Amino acid sequence: MLMKPDQIYQELNNIAEKMGVVVQEHNFRTTGIPVKSGFCIVHGKPVVIIDKHKSLNKKIKILASSLANFPHDEVFAIPAVRELLNRYAQE
């Protein structure tokens, strides 16, 4: 089954929620300082912060590579997204 990028991104967001990882999109252009999208810990909780101006494909890459570092075998994921997570876990 071929999935559209917006479907993949939504599925990754669903998986993040099941894993207890917060995903936030922000406008980094207004910060006035250089900020990079990615994983961080905020008040002891895992968070993936993504620049909302990134392309959808870059958002998918950021989120998938961040989630791949967490144990995700117990979380249900459709095969295409599971394959994506496993690919990033091997990098």
Domain-wise residue ranges, the chain:
19-84
pLDDT of residue 48: 97
Dist CA 75 CA 69 (whole Å) = 13
What whole-number percentage of the chain has pLDDT above 90?
Answer: 73
CA 17 to chain centre: 10
61 has a pLDDT exceeding 70: yes
Q: Which of 14-18, 33-37, 59-63 has the lowest mean pLDDT?
A: 33-37
Per residue in 22-32, pLDDT (tens digit) is 999 998 888 77
Confidence (pTM) = 0.90
- As beta bridge partners, residue 47 has 22, 40
User: What mean pLDDT do residues 27-40 have?
Assistant: 85
Determine what percent of the chain falls in helix, strand and coil, rounding each to the nearest 5: 45, 20, 35
Q: For 84, which DSSP code? A: H
